[in-house]
Amino acid sequence: MSHYIGVDIIEIGRIKEAVESWGERFLRRVYTESELAAYRHKPSSLAARFACKEAVMKLLGTGRMGINWREIETLSHTSGQPRVNLHGKAQVKANEMGIKAIAVSLSHSKEYAIAYVSAVSEINRSEKSDD
């Protein structure tokens, strides 16, 4: 069994500045339609989802290389609990790693947003010959 984690923190002001500077170009490059429908006017929520995308990339071991921002989506259940949905290459990478689901915790203060993600795989990293 293998455990994976990722964490990221971002200044909410950076997201506000990006939206002010780049507008729709930035929003549509980073966020899915569903994320924008729910959080477009909530800078702290956008920042938390940005941090989550970064944290998932760390968990998958890809950094920003090879995975598009929009392939990682963070929405909330009706209870408010966040959930991560993977698409495209992000889903392929998770499948290769044996990851079935990613748990996520989001939080923000007045200035910062943070995301912590974790996953478990039945595949033992030491059993894989290509690692």
Report pLDDT for 131. 47
Task: Report the C-alpha gap between 95 and 104 in whole angstroms.
Answer: 18
Give the total number of structural domains in the chain: 1
Out of 3, 53, 108, 110, pick the active-site residue. 108
Report pLDDT for 64. 73
Out of 41, 58, 87, 89, pick the active-site residue. 58
Report pLDDT for 115. 98
Inter-residue contact 131 to 17 (CB < 8 Å): no
Per the structure, the complete domain to which residue 58 belongs is given by 2-126
Is residue 16 annotated as part of the catalytic site, yes or no?
no
- Mean per-residue pLDDT pooled into runs of 10, the chain (131 residues): 96 97 96 97 97 97 86 94 96 95 96 97 67 47
Instruction: Judge whether 121 lies within some domain.
Output: yes
Domain holding 22: CATH number? 3.90.470.20
Q: pTM for this structure?
A: 0.91
Instruction: Judge whether 131 lies within some domain.
Output: no
Instruction: Judge whether 69 lies within some domain.
Output: yes
Is residue 42 annotated as part of the catalytic site, yes or no?
no
